[in-house]
Amino acid sequence: MELIQKAYSKINLSLDIIKRLASGYHKIESVIQELELHDIIKLKKIEKGIKLKCNINICPDNENLAYKAANILIENYGIKEGVEITIEKRIPVVAGLGGGSSDAAATLKGMNKLFNLNLSEKELIEISNNIGMDVAFCLFGGTAYATGMGNELQKIEKIPEFYVVLAKPNFNISTEDAYNNIDYEKTGKQLKTAEMLNAIKEEDINKIAENMHNDFEYSICKEHPIINEIKKKMIQNGALNALMSGSGPTVFGITEEKAVAENIYNSLTKNPYFKKNLDFVYITQTR
């Protein structure tokens, strides 16, 4: 028996870094939005152990979040058999789109079914805290207000639907590096998440666009000016606004109209400078 799960990507519509905690983690406030772009996770029982396959070269097995998720369930819930995990990557890696976390969440959900563990969503979220802070949202899905270390979630029931154009420059930024280089003089001052929540409540796409904000941009855009160049290009070609997602470096632009999304996509893929400096451009939607 093979079980197939979709592992959806995410963007941060707002991300306020409130303060560094004694644990070394950070207190944040964020509105996180799930997107249609997804990886495919296939799970199959094997005699023993964990076998990981992927269509691209990714990190070593012991660093892979899907592998970690499987290992935790096998060790903690007395699973006697093993599992083969096949990951079909569509979400770019180390991109601020939650790809690794989503693969882990899909693995937790899938193994819960495959091995009849009967764990609740709440129990899975508790397990996910030992894997990575974004995994909780990837289990939760939809739209959420995230607080604490990003793993305390409140569901947002209704948000206007919109198209999202994603553009990832041809370099990676690890979450660890992004947090290590935070500009503490500027972060935690704008606190745009509260305004974003109000804009969503009013179901006003223009206000949502106005209040898009990411505290990581202060340090990362300084080091990588192409991020601001992508944002500017997207807005010039019709995006209501554009922002770097999570710890970057992927930039997203939002629009209500598919034709505008296509225009933004073409402005990036047909421009020689961006064609040379981007390794991923994609149109998707909220879900």
Q: What's the rounded Cα separation, in Å, for the pair 134 and 286?
A: 18
Rounded to whole angstroms, what are the CA distances from 132 to 150, 156, 176, 184? Answer: 10, 22, 12, 23
Cβ 28 vs Cβ 15: under 8 Å? yes
Bridge partners, 29 (sequence order): 16
- Secondary structure letter of residue 80 according to DSSP: -
Helix locations, the chain, DSSP H: 65-76, 99-114, 121-128, 135-140, 175-180, 193-201, 205-210, 217-223, 226-236, 258-269, 272-277
Identify the active-site residue in 16, 39, 134, 215: 134
The answer to whether the beta carbons of residues 7 and 64 sit under 8 Å apart is: no
**Peptide bond preceding 249: is omega within 30 degrees of 0, i.e. cis?**
yes
* Known active-site residue 10: yes
**What token pair was written down for 112?**
């819960």
Query: Could you tell me the two tokens for 58?
Result: 């990714």
Q: Is 68 a catalytic residue?
A: no
For the CA atoms of 168, 243, 179, 96, what is the dihedral angle to 10 degrees? Answer: -40
Residues known to be catalytic = 10, 134
